[in-house]
Amino acid sequence: MRGLLVMLVAVGFVVPSYGAEKEGKKLGKVKGLKVLLITGGCCHDYKYQSKRLVEGTGKRAHVKWTVLHDLRKGTRGKIDLYNNPDWAKGFDVVVHNECFAATKDPEYIRKITKAHAKGVPAVVIHCAMHTYRSAKIDDWREFLGVSSYHHEHQSRYEVVAKDKDHPIMKGFPKVWKTPKDELYVVKKVWPKTKVLATSKSERTGKAEPVFWVSEYGKAKVFGTTFGHGNATFEDKVFIDTVTKGLLWVCGKLGKDGEAVKGYGKVGTKK
């Protein structure tokens, strides 16, 4: 079912949007995953990307989205929601697609990571990897599962699965060429991270992780460095993969790469 995205018009407010509301009665006790998307900051069209993300996943899985869009455009920002110790309460998973590279307050950062360490699953997209990159502490980078500080030029990168047996990668093309996007240079892959797919740098020939899963405390994490341009959020393979990642971190993706009963079909015509 197509998700409905309602964007907020002021910083710091949360606006609910639903992707499975009308189907709730058909699903019985299953009423969809409750997903919080936190987005905003520098360098990207977050309004459009959020809309496409909600709509795309809503076609593939039963999800209920709440979107917090911080309208600040700079590289510094602190989202008020994180000041509440229970900021993630009531959600099954949090999607981070914010971009505040110059924010480096350790106490603030740990308000975010603490919730995930306690068991809140997460999906991290693109500039989330460069968020808080000025910080001297590694808590956020360990949570992400990779450490990256810069990216290479935009291009159409070929993506090759490295763990074809992982449920998220079931049905992934032999080679997927991205829409025009940035390749992030990954300086460190953290010990609990499993790389699912890579793309080769056109400058160095090095294979860089572009999809992965990780563990942080009690939480599962799925990440991708792609997501710079709007066209990426229009791409079927990208949205299929992110949807599977969303389901996987919540324990709702079977070993066959399909959503468990009641949570929708992913990447199929069924």
**Lowest-confidence range among 12-21, 185-194, 218-227?**
12-21
CATH number of the structural domain spanning residue 42: 3.40.50.880
Q: Would residue 266 count as lying in a domain?
A: no
pLDDT at 34: 96
123, 121, 144: which is closest to 132 by C-alpha? 144
User: How many domains does the chain contain in total?
Assistant: 1
Mean pLDDT value of segment 21-26: 32
- 97's tokens: 């697609």
Neighbours of 251 (CB within 10 A): 11
pLDDT at 150: 84
Neighbours of 160 (CB within 10 A): 16
CB neighbour list of residue 91: distance below 8 Å, 6 or more residues apart = 34, 35, 36, 66, 120
Q: Would residue 53 count as lying in a domain?
A: yes
pLDDT at residue 16 greater than cutoff 70? no
pLDDT at 231: 97
- 25's tokens: 């009665």
44, 41, 43, 51: which is closest to 15 by C-alpha? 51
Q: Would residue 8 count as lying in a domain?
A: no
Q: Would residue 198 count as lying in a domain?
A: yes
Domain range enclosing 95: 15-249
pLDDT at 70: 83
Neighbours of 269 (CB within 10 A): 4
Global pTM reads: 0.88
Q: Would residue 259 count as lying in a domain?
A: no
Q: Would residue 73 count as lying in a domain?
A: yes
Ranges of beta strands (E only) in 22-180 are: 33-41, 63-70, 93-99, 122-125, 146-155, 158-161, 176-177
Q: Would residue 142 count as lying in a domain?
A: yes
Q: Would residue 139 count as lying in a domain?
A: yes
- CA of 93: how far to CAs of 77, 79, 221, 232, in Å? 22, 18, 9, 22
Q: What is the DSSP string of 185-205?
A: EEEEE-TT-EEEEEEE-TTT-
pLDDT at residue 9 greater than cutoff 70? no
The helix-helix angle for 236-249 and 46-60 (nearest 10°) equals 70
Could you report the per-residue pLDDT of 156-212, keeping only the tens digit for each?
999 999 999 999 999 999 999 999 999 999 999 999 999 999 999 999 999 999 999
Alpha helix positions (H), 83-228: 106-117, 139-144
Could you report the per-residue pLDDT of 83-127, keeping only the tens digit for each?
999 999 999 999 999 999 888 899 999 999 999 999 999 999 999
